[in-house]
Amino acid sequence: MFEVVNVAEKLGRFEDRWNPKIVGELNGQYVKLAKLLGEFHWHSHAVEDELFWVVRGRLEIEFRDGSVELGPGEFVIVPRGVEHRPVAREEVEIMLFEPAGTVNVGDGSDREPAILEWI
């Protein structure tokens, strides 16, 4: 009836980067885990806010007017419509909270979106 999710165990199940995996769902939101390395592209989401929570490593999120750097146990919420670019100078493991319909590449991108998979 109740599922306890071990984040470290779930992160150990995959190696690919920039391809979030779904580990839970609540109130129309997916809880996702991802591994990142390098720079993503600039993008925004017109109708969805995104929560980036760092599990391991350090993540920089660039905005057109500045940036934030997150360490383990820290998170930031990127409001809908705000253009941003995640940057991981070394591998980082993150948890994301996003509405179920959120496409990871953002609005109007010509990049292929991640194929969401439950693990």
* Ramachandran sector of residue 106 (left: φ over 0; alpha: ψ -120 to 50; beta: rest): left
Give the integer Cα–Cα distance in Å for 41 and 92: 17
Across all residues in the chain, what is the average pLDDT? 91
In the numeric block, which tokens belong to residue 75? Answer: 């998170």
- Residues 11-40: tens digit of each pLDDT: 999 999 999 999 999 999 999 999 999 999
CATH of 7-118, one of 2.30.30.40, 3.40.630.10, 2.60.120.10, 3.40.50.720: 2.60.120.10
- Residues 56-67: tens digit of each pLDDT: 999 999 999 999
Mean pLDDT of the 95-99 span = 92
The answer to whether the CB of 72 falls within 8 A of the CB of 54 is yes
Give the integer Cα–Cα distance in Å for 39 and 81: 20
What is the reported pTM? 0.88
What's residue 105's pLDDT? Answer: 60
Give the integer Cα–Cα distance in Å for 24 and 30: 6
